[in-house]
Chain A
Amino acid sequence: MSAFLEVRDLTVTFRVGSALKARLRGEPPPDLTAVDGISFTAERGESIGIVGESGCGKSTLAKAITGLVPVASGSLHLDGNPLTARRDPATMRRIQMVFQDPSSSLNPSLTIERMLSELLNVHRIVPRDAIADRCGELMELVELPRSLLKSRPGRLSGGQRQRVGIARALALEPEVLIADEAVAALDVSVQAPVLNLLNSLREDLGLTLMFISHDLAVVRYVSDRVIVMYLGRAVEDRSTAELFDDPRHPYTRALMAAAPKFGVKKAPGESALKGEPPSALKLPSGCRFRPRCPIAEEICEQTEPDLAGPSPIQRAACHFAWDGHEVRS
């Protein structure tokens, strides 16, 4: 049987710089490969975390799956059906995204009720006379008082706005919910309730959740499985428990070492990960993590490692990931 969501060799490119200048120089127009041949599958109800440094392609991956940016090559399947560039509204509905900044993605002049009603109406989710009830139910689902339906987004706190953003995504009854840095802009005291909400929604509605964050601790809290991205590639794909227990890719290990931990003092001048990721326009030869890798060897310069391992959710893209390592099943 095929997987619920199947992402195969997904590649997304953006045209950057001047195509004309390139043509005058007789070169091909410059393309930036933001997502570079990513493959993974997700089961119904699974929660997958996506982590990686800024610019590694997390949002682009999310937008490609949602249908918000065109795919250069590769394929996407939902429930066995191909997801093409031009999706009909019924297909669009099945995958919804929640964004980082709730205020900029909500129309400030509409009340919450107007916004939700219009959405329910346009997509004909429920009969017209059931719309008001559904708005109330949606508010309950995201644990907001119904009285807030009459408010405009400007009157709400950041945490409340993010809940409205989630309600808006849920209004379309999606099967896949992609949350892109959904709590990053929130005060720390109100992040937890939103994370708990996402966890319970997933359980109650059987949603497949893709949770994107640069914060490993947050990802650990909401995900069954984690995909670590570096420069457009998935470099490790593991169950959450295994990944945190025993990371196999040097990049994952460095990210974990870099995360601040309670009660650990920083040593002067020390850092887990030197330098910054190179530009996606100037990839190093061989393994793209090589210039920053503490254990790189000659082969790393010549051959790019595959994302491989003993099982589909025990994969790491490093020549030495599984050396001398017995994988527990």
Chain B
Amino acid sequence: MTKRLLEVEDLRITLQAGSGTITPVDGVNLALGRGEALGIAGESGSGKSLTLKSIIGLLPQGAQVEGNLRFALGDESPIPYTSTDVHGRGISIIFQEPMTALNPTMRVGDLIAEGPRIHEGLSKTAARERAVELMRQVGIPAPERRAKMWPHQLSGGLRQRVMIATALSTRPKLLLCDEPTTALDVSIQDQILGLLQEIRINLGMSIIFVSHDLAVLGELCDRLAIMYAGQIVETGPTDDVFTKPNHPYTEALMTSVPSFDATSVKLAGIEGHPPDPRSFPPGCRFSPRCRYAREDCTEADFELVATDADRSSACIHTEVFAEGGR
């Protein structure tokens, strides 16, 4: 791996839920190199958004966080940080729903100019010029005119570009992307992915991209981490994971969605549905839905174990699985 930018060690997030507590993120480890793009795949509720929010310090009030987060603000190795260290300085985030993430009472240009004004002390005019420049950079046509518009006057695709411009305005080293294309048409998704790839390469930025869509992650990411029920169950280089998944859940995810290029073999899907954090199954959390499950799976302690030089899996029966099951 290239020089490290971010390390997440044994991250555990506990939240109030009704009368009890839940731990929807439960022992997550991640490492990200400079300039690298990491994809986190998982279904809704698996804890992807909470993981990203904890990295940038945007967790909901009352959330309890355990574990270690380290980030390299300068050229040295990653060190522990607080959200005020990185917010507007090293890490930015973009979300799925630009309409709820963008302040509706501010003009688009002012929204984008806010970061540079606060963090770099730019004058109003200079910040506004920077905003227009950023809008041009993210491919917004007629940026001078659109800078004076309100968020609700823009299409979903343009709003997403505004959010990206806002995120870039503080020149981050790491861009967190929380399903930024999920609500968009394939055509606009394709444009945004092309834009993110361009930004990443031109600005040498690192990216963590979260999505339930493996094919989308594949278009952008060097490495993948597969998340299930608050835990990372497999990691590895994208192409390796696609060619030969090392965890039954990854395999199941890949055979759940119709592939664009292949005609219909019957899709398998997965029995049941993703578990609720109020009642995660004991042992391997995927066991109730796993077609390879054995008796000892429900007693297995969670551990993400290296399977190859660059890969890891939390399945205790990778041998069975590698042979294609019973």
Mark out the residues of chain A between 147 and 199 whose CB falls within 8 Å of any chain B CB in the assembled complex. Answer: 157-160, 187-193, 195-196
Given contact pairs A53-B187, A189-B253, A259 touches B260 in the complex (Cβ within 8 A): yes
CB <8 Å contact, A266 and B197: yes
Mark out the residues of chain B between 218 and 275 whose CB falls within 8 Å of any chain A CB in the assembled complex. Answer: 218-220, 238-239, 242, 252-253, 256-261, 263-264, 266-270, 273-274
B191 at interface by CB-CB < 8 Å? yes
B189 at interface by CB-CB < 8 Å? yes
Q: For B46, give the chain A residue with the smallest CB separation.
A: A187
Give Cα A159 to B256, complex, Å: 14
Given contact pairs A220-B263, A263-B242, A188 touches B212 in the complex (Cβ within 8 A): yes
B59 at interface by CB-CB < 8 Å? no
The smallest C-beta distance from B128 to any residue of chain A, in angstroms, reads: 25
Q: Hey, which chain A residues are within 8 Å of B141, CB to CB? A: 275
**Binding-face segment, A17-25, A70-78, A130-138, A211-219:** A211-219
CB <8 Å contact, B186 and A189: no
Give Cα A256 to B157, complex, Å: 19
Q: Hey, which chain A residues are within 8 Å of B156, CB to CB? A: 54
Q: Hey, which chain A residues are within 8 Å of B196, CB to CB? A: 266
CB <8 Å contact, B242 and A267: no
Of listed B193, B202, B252, B269, residue having the most chain A CB within 10 A: B269
Give Cα A85 to B256, complex, Å: 40
CB <8 Å contact, A262 and B218: yes
CB <8 Å contact, B270 and A190: yes
Give Cα A158 to B157, complex, Å: 27
Pick from B185, B238, B261, B269: contact of A192, CB under 8 Å? B269
CB <8 Å contact, A216 and B260: yes
The smallest C-beta distance from B234 to any residue of chain A, in angstroms, reads: 15
B99 at interface by CB-CB < 8 Å? no
CB <8 Å contact, A189 and B273: yes
CB <8 Å contact, B187 and A269: no
Pick from B190, B212, B261: contact of A187, CB under 8 Å? B212
Mark out the residues of chain B between 9 and 53 whose CB falls within 8 Å of any chain A CB in the assembled complex. Answer: 43-44
B106 at interface by CB-CB < 8 Å? no
Secondary structure of the B contact surface, majority rule: helix
Give Cα A265 to B200, complex, Å: 13
Q: Hey, which chain B residues are within 8 Å of A275, CB to CB? A: 141
Q: Give the bracket for the number of chain A residues in contact with chain B.
A: 35 or more
CB <8 Å contact, A214 and B186: yes
Pick from A187, A265, A271: contact of B191, CB under 8 Å? A271
Pick from B194, B197, B200, B274: contact of A189, CB under 8 Å? B274
CB <8 Å contact, A268 and B242: no
Q: Hey, which chain A residues are within 8 Å of B263, CB to CB? A: 220, 241, 244
B216 at interface by CB-CB < 8 Å? yes
The smallest C-beta distance from A191 to any residue of chain B, in angstroms, reads: 7
Q: Hey, which chain A residues are within 8 Å of B273, CB to CB? A: 157-160, 187, 189-190
Mark out the residues of chain A between 250 and 265 whose CB falls within 8 Å of any chain B CB in the assembled complex. Answer: 254-265
Give Cα A273 to B212, complex, Å: 23
CB <8 Å contact, B267 and A188: no
Given contact pairs A187-B273, A195-B267, A53 touches B185 in the complex (Cβ within 8 A): yes
Mark out the residues of chain A between 262 and 289 whose CB falls within 8 Å of any chain B CB in the assembled complex. Answer: 262-276
Give the A-binding residues of B (Cβ under 8 A).
Answer: 43-44, 141, 155-158, 185-191, 193-198, 200-202, 212-216, 218-220, 238-239, 242, 252-253, 256-261, 263-264, 266-270, 273-274, 289
* CB-based closest 7 A-B pairs: A192-B269, A258-B190, A192-B267, A268-B198, A189-B270, A221-B258, A260-B215
Interchain residue pairs with CB less than 8 A apart (25): A53-B185, A53-B187, A159-B273, A188-B213, A189-B43, A189-B256, A189-B269, A189-B270, A192-B258, A195-B258, A196-B267, A214-B186, A258-B189, A260-B213, A260-B218, A260-B219, A260-B260, A265-B220, A269-B195, A269-B197, A270-B194, A271-B190, A271-B193, A276-B158, A276-B187
Give the B-binding residues of A (Cβ under 8 A).
Answer: 53-54, 157-160, 187-193, 195-196, 214-218, 220-221, 241, 244, 254-276
6 extra interface residue pairs, beta carbon distance < 8 Å, beyond A192-B270, A262-B214, A267-B197: A53-B186, A54-B156, A189-B269, A192-B258, A216-B260, A259-B190
